[in-house]
Amino acid sequence: MKGNHWMRLFVWGVCFLAAAGGQLAAQEWAQVQKALLQKGSAMANNLAKSRKDLSRAYDALDAIAPHVHYASRDVLPWSFRVLPRQENGFEQAAVLRNNRLELASRLLFEHTIRRLRTHREDIKQNLQYARTADLASLIPPEAKFIFLGEVHHQPVIEQQILYILAHYRKRYPERKIMVLTEFVLDTDVSLLPREMDQRVTSKRAFFDLLMKWRIPIFGLEEPAARAAAGEEIFSETGNPAFLSATTLSVQTRNRHWIKQIQAMHESYPDMIFFIYAGLGHTEYNFPAAVSAAFNPKETFAMDFFVGKRLRFTPFDRAFSGAFSGPGVWYWKDPRYARLAGFDVSVVLPARK
């Protein structure tokens, strides 16, 4: 009986807007995300006293849609249920908050996939392909917040981002630009990085070159978040999970980044901001996405892959890799950009 109750709640959560016709505008999409996340949190709030009930709720999700691979590690890279390492109230409360949010994120993720599939044919007609492109020229002149989302540890992506920054400055020599990034701490008031994120030491040469070009750099990451990256907790399957990569931590980090970007915009209103981070933070349709927090008319999101797009985005789940392979994907009509997660998608050739 209880399982049926959770199934009804889940079906309501993913389908309550399915009858709405037409494409979701950015404001409407933000409301969808908020509604689904609140619904998922409300569902999980009822499970605070019993972890067995939580497990039964996940079993109900798996029973409804096994074809979308509801094993939590398959939903998002950081989407896993975790267990407290020790018996203390603070850690148990944090773990419970993470697991509630993880359930809510599943609702949003599945709703996004269904929404994309609903518009499958129209999206196919609107998404254009080019073997190569001047990526800087694809950025609209009115964009003030330009998100560059990467798959980590790929030097070829760094080279493309350097190319974009150089060509953008050449295209708009009168504009002042700044790079705000995940890979530098937020404690440097000089806007130039004195301490790099030790998890990504390969980027030191990248930022050294930006400094040589006199492009200001400002870090988004809190020192505490970096410190937590070295600590591990365990998922229910016994696999280790980094504290900085749990669903709750990603949401917390994203909210901090949003405040940092807004503060910099208030201090430097004439600046063009390039936000360089992992694409899990920059895709419009991810839970608590940084890019979704800003004025759609002034925001532009470009994602980068090497070899092929990866299966952990809602877009790739919905289209099963139909738009993968090296090249540049962009919209003839941008009305689906927010739903798909990007304005431009770049798949770079893998080095042999």
Same domain, 66 and 179: no
Tokens of 164: 């974009």
Answer with the one of 97, 122, 147 that is the final residue of a domain: 122
- 226 versus 248: the higher-pLDDT residue is 248
Give me the pLDDT at residue 229, please: 54
Distance CA(140)–CA(146), nearest Å, equals 10
pLDDT tens for residues 17-51? 333 333 445 566 566 666 656 665 665 555 444 34
Place of tokens 């201090």: 267
Identity at 338, one-letter amino acid code: R
Cβ neighbours for 129, distance < 8 A, ≥ 6 positions apart: 323, 327, 328, 329
Identity at 350, one-letter amino acid code: A
Same domain, 303 and 176: yes
Q: What is the mean pLDDT of residues 288-298?
A: 93
Distance CA(36)–CA(80), nearest Å, equals 18
pLDDT tens for residues 214-234? 898 888 887 766 556 556 665
Same domain, 206 and 312: yes
pTM: 0.79
Give me the pLDDT at residue 230, please: 54
Q: Chain centroid to CA 97: how far? A: 19
Give me the pLDDT at residue 329, please: 95
Give me the pLDDT at residue 88, please: 59
Answer with the one of 122, 140, 169 that is the final residue of a domain: 122
Same domain, 95 and 231: no
Give me the pLDDT at residue 204, please: 79
pLDDT tens for residues 180-195? 998 887 775 555 555 5
Same domain, 140 and 111: no
- How far is it between the farthest Cα atoms of the chain? 66
Which own/partner contact pairs does 203-206 have at CB distance under 8 Å and 24+ positions apart?
Answer: 203/158, 206/158, 206/161, 206/162
Total domains in the fold of the chain: 2
Same domain, 142 and 203: yes
Distance CA(42)–CA(307), nearest Å, equals 40
Answer with the one of 93, 122, 151 that is the final residue of a domain: 122
Q: With 50 as the cut, is the pLDDT of residue 348 above it?
A: yes
Domain containing 92 equals 2-122
Cβ neighbours for 125, distance < 8 A, ≥ 6 positions apart: 332
